[in-house]
Amino acid sequence: MMPPAETRGLVGVLFDLDDTVLSHGVLTREAYEAIWSMHEAGLRLVAVTGRPSGWGEVIARQWPIDGAVTENGAVHVVRDGKGVTLTFDGDAEAVAHRRARLDALVVTVAKALPHVKLADDNHARRSDVAWDIGERERLDASSIAELAQLVVASGARTTRSSVHLHASFERDDKASGAIRFVHARFGDDSGAALHRWAFVGDSGNDAACFAAFTHTFGVENVRAYARVLTVPPRWVAPSKRGAGFAEIAKTIVSSRW
């Protein structure tokens, strides 16, 4: 996949969850072992996901990782003794104001597109809203386009994963959120973050990270998103999802010895 020398100097790996580590939502044995193998090789590990901060709270407590950048960059979760600490961008007033704008947008969408359903993980979200476009529902392309138009008209930013369409009034995307995280947690400046941390992902909402980081990997299913990625990952694993993630982990770990 790549010459070992390329990744020898890495200090950490940032990775997406859905359809990268998780295979259709499931954490396979080989993917979980891949996370442990990178942890045991001394790499810092951070999940970077569109999933809720409530999910980040769980994995930051349970997995051998240094934290989670959740909700597409906005909310950061780190283990703190026996608990976790959540960090937001801005003060409580700013966070509450953005939340109120999101709540209003949810009402607008429900009125205009009553057949479009919210994702089933919104109760665990703090800074964004997600609608289900391909997880438990199969939303048609024109409805997805109408939904995206409503979100943009409200002044929110929209991102799309393989399963959800998100709306957010946050400033961060996955890349700026990940860089903010490694600076706050490890003191790495953005130059160090971009060159000494690898990123592994699979889809359109990973575009900012594929463009920003030097060492970028895609699992095989990223090929389906070639059209929407302005900068594709530098290296693509032979296999899809968790199996591909395990191949990438093996490549990174073996370069360290």
Judged by the rule CB under 5 A, the positions of this chain that interact with Mg ion are 16, 18-20, 202-203
For the bound state, the minimum distance from the C-beta of residue 76 to Mg ion, rounded and expressed in Å, comes to: 18
Give the shortest CB-20-to-Mg ion separation in angstroms: 5
Looking at the Cβ atoms of 98 and 240, the one nearer to Mg ion is: 240
Closer residue to Mg ion, CB minimum distance, 75 or 222: 222
Give the shortest CB-227-to-Mg ion separation in angstroms. 16
**72 or 203: whose CB is closer to Mg ion?**
203
**For Mg ion, the closer CB: 16 or 170:** 16
Tokens 């700026």, located at residue: 176
Q: How far is the CB of 38 from Mg ion (least distance, A)?
A: 18
Distances (CA, A) of 164 to 54, 147, 194, 257: 16, 11, 27, 39
Residue least distant from Mg ion (Cβ): 18
CA angle 203, 31, 70 (to 5 degrees): 50
Name the residue nearer to Mg ion (CB basis): 79 or 242.
242
Q: Are 218 and 209 in contact (CB under 8 A)?
A: no
Taking the complex as a whole, the smallest distance from the CB of residue 136 to Mg ion amounts, in Å, to: 17
- The CB-of-239 to Mg ion minimum distance in angstroms stands at 15
Which CB atom, from 150 or from 200, has the smaller least distance to Mg ion? 200
